[in-house]
Amino acid sequence: MDDLTETDCRMDDFYEAFEPQLNARLLTDGKRYRSRKGSLSVPELMTLVVLFHQIRYRQFKSFYLNPVGRYLRSEFPRLPTYQRCVDLLPRCAIALAALFEELTGKCSGVSIADSTPLSVCKNLRISRHRVFQGMAARGKSSTGWFFGFKLHLVINHLGELLGVKLTPGNVDDRKPLCDFADRLFGKRYADKGDIAQWLTPFLKDLGIDFVTKVRKNRKPVALDPFDQAMLRQRSLVETVIDELKNLCQIEHTRPRSPIHFAVNLLAGLIAYGLMPNKPRLPLQDFRRLSPSPKLIPN
């Protein structure tokens, strides 16, 4: 399995460099604890959860019992039972978060922002839901009401994730936009629902031009031809969200604990970051539309 070999090497190399840094920063309470190794190491756990998203399985149990349990015993000689593997998964959460941060792309001067709902249960079960009590919240998206979280993300023109933030479902989409400002520059395109009187000058002071379509009840504003073309191509971020949710399976309505929800989300984001062919925009075709083509990245 080419995906398995490549993913396994990637996880081993990353964790070999990451583990000493993690141990040097761990806090201690003065007590001594056993550091007994589990039947699956942290890199092996990372490989399993990322591979699950890469080969497009829908249920982790089916993935673990069938292809892994039947055909990958030689690669995982100390493979535990499914329930024990699920109990071990929280051990790799910190390493997955660090790996995702390493895989984020760099801003090219053109970035696109959007958000998507992540439901944690079906609407009929909202009143009985207890797993995310006090964390998740009811929210409303373009497709209707949901109970869960919102995933706010920013991408560049290459389809690479520049940053993500998870908030309760009732958080205004405009609030997290400022949290990505430290890693962005140039032009930032968003939906007209993100328009706020305070947001444009705030981002302008940080060197970011906030560009959106104009609402119907406002006066039209003259836009640069390049900005007009980019606003028409904002669907790129919708394509990225579609691949995250339908190919990388970052959303499901059966999480059994917050930490397992986080592991599944991070593994899906990493699987997307490792994809060789991401949706992208050919900015070189738009350079001729701008009055200052030298300012537009290749």
pLDDT tens profile 186-208: 888 888 666 676 777 778 888 88
Query: For the chain, which ranges sit under pLDDT 50?
Result: 292-298
pLDDT of residue 209: 83
Burial 155-182 (b: 16+ CB within 10 A, else e): bbbbbbbbbbbbbbbebebbebbeebbe
pLDDT of residue 215: 67
pLDDT of residue 224: 77
pLDDT of residue 193: 66
Global confidence as pTM? 0.89
Q: Which domains does the chain have, with CATH numbers?
A: 2-22+38-102 (no CATH), 106-254 (3.30.420)
**CB contact at 8 A, 240 and 117:** no
The residue written with tokens 């984020």 in the block is 104
Long-range contacts of range 88-92, CB-CB < 8 Å, 24 or more positions apart? 88/38, 88/39, 88/40, 88/45, 89/45, 89/49, 89/259, 89/260, 89/263, 90/259, 90/260, 90/263, 91/38, 91/42, 91/45, 92/42, 92/45, 92/46, 92/49, 92/263
Angle at the Cα of 238 (from 277 to 278), degrees rounded to 5?
5
